Chain A
């Protein structure tokens, strides 16, 4: 796609351009009743126009905010553009938020309309209606179960479009005025408010202008030479800045097609059918794919397993070099080619990565083994470091300069500096306008001259790549004065498929301890194969043999840490396996599934205390929240294991390359 013309500085303008320039190209697809349904750019422009005029007829006006709650459905993406075309501001909201969290965002954003996916979301919004005096209308996409609701303030999406069509038929000049309104939009206008899930405190509304979003999106497109021929799968939360840039902004700028899965459970199959060329996912997704593969391989027949292991080992040696177009011996190349036919190709096909050109991971550090696994079988997986406040891009890894332990070089147009305290600061055209109705927080994060405090501690290495160690506020010290970066330790443990989440504690303490969540899929499979019976997650987590497995992983990590002079003090001396899965509904994880370490330390204070007072087990009673908002409690006696630590060793002169 040709570069964006200077005038095309808002989403509605880009939509008009796409409809005119490539009206017959596919813009968005959704799998419905088992068949992929496609809308072209021209059709999308018509759909958006009808919704926009319908919303306008219902009373939506410039400056109003509109909550968008639901999964990745074409109609919700159209709502973004429709609201923006009449000068309104969409506010996407995480659809799995419990009512309390959602009401805070809707109240804070003062939404005038809510466009929701289905009955569940409608019920949720209706239940909080008395706290939202400004909320005039609710529009739903999926009508199922809603037929008998009171429809004075509730409308089906199609009904709103019908209102729009009637308004257009009744008033010949309406569409022209709507188009004039679009033309009057400016790049500096507020485009969207994205609420950050926030590891601490209440969510903050990040205001991004059209320029923020579109310039960033375009930089990303240029960086990887994306074209209108790309295919992406949209399955990450609408409220997440990543989805907003990758599935909305970049699609509008470059004209590529966005594919909406049939349901959240079918994403893997849908991905295989579409074969995306450009992908974006948090490390968790790649981790799950790999864990699932390894678990299934355990169940495969011996010859298949041997073949798999042989070729994966071969790919580990030469795969990355081949991907980076470095010189590799002929024999190795031929062997890799054979592996491509026998193992890598089928595997990529399973993952839906057969046609992938560029895949990104961001949001969290990815386990180096997972990262290398995908690269070695020929998936061009890269890391990216970004933030909502930066409209995603801060640093990116250029092709052929990819390593597991860095997040890359500054993205185009981004300036980065490291403060005296080690915090990463950035400045770019993507930097947000400010937090909505929260000037104090804005002032604390963004300096007068546009630098943003990322809150992450990091440094540039010799090659000019940025490395992130941890959240700046989380980096602490042990009593001995040694550096303690909890996430660094946690990530090392999380690489093991049996471990799902880890919370490391140690700041201001004598030594480091870990609270571990097992991965039910991996450990459950192990239990099945080894005739270990269990009735619940809790029972499995407390099983002595499971403790033995986890202890062996912790021991491995301790050995690794001993080899790293900076981190050798962070070896884990005691650990426990938590009796319940950490869950966002209980506030233990953020909605983007990051552990909220401080909250967890407080919630499980008796366990933390037990870790440090030498006891071998501790009884805890934990309150849990079920999906429907009811509360219950889980009680358990959690055992604690002591671990051996290793003396810090100087790195040996000959070390494995790229370690």
Chain B
């Protein structure tokens, strides 16, 4: 199955054992003009865990994800992925290194079907040249069949067979989120970044999505970092939680520890100044 990342494009990555640090950020600061979005943030993500990033609105959660996948470039700080310090890099490099993500506001190709959207997630894995793909014979056909198989496995995994051929623009929100997760999974990521995977869902959809997230980890061994507002969900499914507030890290630990942390309680409930 997809337990191991396709390593074709990287030069000999070391396998990382579960529990070891997969990604580490140290002293990350990011400012837009005079606005400090992130202020000296440090934490790590270990292989095989579900790591939640929480915090009130504007805490810098999405900025943090954008830094991790190379969309933003922090002014200060250091990111270490798989033991290598990362230089300034583009999101597609991050994707090639095995980091894929979903977005807070669904970002799918509306006119394409579920199948085509997820297939698009395989683009990085295509080895055959554009010319052969146009002809759709020989090696290109074989490769397409192999990719289609992976995509069908994802469709089966996410239980979206019934919308396989439906344009995603027509789908309800909960299903779009699932398709987006599917597209991210199609890259066979080692680290999956989920930006509010459950925003705007009802209870049943949230439960389904929670189950999918846990299943992804179990089935594919994917490490997951997620931003989520629903505290119940976060506390249920994550192993460790980092809490941001106004661009600062105010707590880091297991769900239990975080829940008892006075700073966290203050940040969420507000304090008299």
Contact = CB atoms under 8 A, between A and B. Distances in A.
Nearest to A264: B162
Contact of A262 (B153, B161, B211, B215): B161
A439 interface: no
Given A33-B152, A33-B156, A34-B152, A265 B161 contact: yes
B207 interface: yes
A148 interface: yes
Contacts of A269: 162
**Which of B148, B153, B162: most chain A CB closer than 10 A?**
B162
A326 interface: no
Interface in B190-205: 204
Interface string A611-650: 0000000000000000110000000000000000000000
A265 B162 CA distance: 6
Contacts of B219: 144-145, 147
Nearest to B163: A265
Nearest to A32: B156
Contact of B218 (A33, A34, A145, A265): A145
Contacts of A32: 156
B159 interface: yes
Interface residues of A, number: 15
Nearest to B150: A33
A301 interface: no
Interface in B54-103: none
Nearest to A145: B215
Contacts of B153: 33
Contacts of A34: 148, 152, 155, 161, 164
A200 interface: no
Interface residues of B, number: 17
Contacts of B157: 144
A74 B215 CA distance: 25
A148 B161 contact: no
B159 A263 contact: yes
Given A145-B215, A145-B218, A627-B204, A266 B162 contact: yes
Contacts of A262: 161-162
A318 B229 CA distance: 61
Contacts of A145: 211, 215, 218-219
B161 A263 contact: yes
A34 B148 CA distance: 10
Contacts of B156: 32-33
B177 to A, nearest CB: 17
A262 B161 CA distance: 7
A35 B164 CA distance: 12
B36 interface: no
Interface string B149-171: 10011011101011010000000
A101 B157 CA distance: 29
A536 to B, nearest CB: 11
A35 B204 CA distance: 29
A628 B159 contact: no
B236 to A, nearest CB: 14
A187 to B, nearest CB: 40
Nearest to A266: B162
A628 B207 contact: yes
Interface in A30-60: 32-35
Nearest to A143: B219
Contacts of A263: 159, 161-162
A148 B162 contact: no
A145 B218 CA distance: 7
Interface in B85-126: none
Contacts of B149: 33
Interface string B125-159: 00000000000000000000000110011011101
Contacts of B218: 145, 147-148
Contacts of B159: 263
A23 B219 CA distance: 37
A34 B155 CA distance: 9
Nearest to B156: A33
Nearest to A268: B162
A33 B147 CA distance: 12
A266 to B, nearest CB: 5
A570 B156 CA distance: 51
Nearest to A269: B162
A266 B215 contact: no
A658 to B, nearest CB: 39
Interface in A106-159: 144-145, 147-148
A265 B218 CA distance: 26
A147 B219 CA distance: 9
Nearest to B203: A626
Nearest to B215: A145
A144 B216 CA distance: 10
A385 B57 CA distance: 62
A627 B211 CA distance: 15
A334 to B, nearest CB: 37
**Which of B156, B161, B204: most chain A CB closer than 10 A?**
B161
A144 B152 contact: no
A34 B161 CA distance: 8
Nearest to A34: B152
Interface in A246-269: 262-263, 265-266, 269
A165 B20 CA distance: 41
Nearest to B115: A34
Contacts of B155: 33-34
A413 B266 CA distance: 79
B200 to A, nearest CB: 15
B2 to A, nearest CB: 13
A538 to B, nearest CB: 15
A265 to B, nearest CB: 4
A458 to B, nearest CB: 40
A376 to B, nearest CB: 30
Interface string B5-30: 00000000000000000000000000
Contacts of B152: 33-35
Given A33-B152, A263-B159, A269-B162, A144 B215 contact: yes
A263 B218 CA distance: 23
A266 B204 CA distance: 20
Nearest to B219: A144
B107 to A, nearest CB: 25
**Which of A33, A144, A145, A147: most chain B CB closer than 10 A?**
A33
Contacts of B211: 145
A505 B171 CA distance: 41
Contacts of B162: 262-263, 265-266, 269
Contacts of A35: 152
Contacts of B148: 34
Interface string A351-380: 000000000000000000000000000000
A148 B148 CA distance: 28
A148 B156 CA distance: 20
Nearest to B157: A144
Contacts of A33: 149, 152-153, 155-156
28 contacts: A32-B156, A33-B149, A33-B152, A33-B155, A33-B156, A34-B148, A34-B152, A34-B155, A34-B161, A34-B164, A35-B152, A144-B157, A144-B215, A144-B219, A145-B215, A145-B218, A147-B219, A148-B218, A262-B161, A262-B162, A263-B159, A263-B161, A263-B162, A265-B161, A266-B161, A269-B162, A627-B204, A628-B207
Interface of A: 32-35, 144-145, 147-148, 262-263, 265-266, 269, 627-628
Among all A-B residue pairs, the 10 with the closest Cβ atoms = A265-B162, A33-B152, A266-B162, A262-B161, A34-B152, A263-B161, A266-B161, A145-B215, A33-B156, A263-B162
Given A262-B161, A628-B207, 7 more contacts: A33-B155, A34-B148, A145-B218, A265-B161, A266-B162, A269-B162, A627-B204
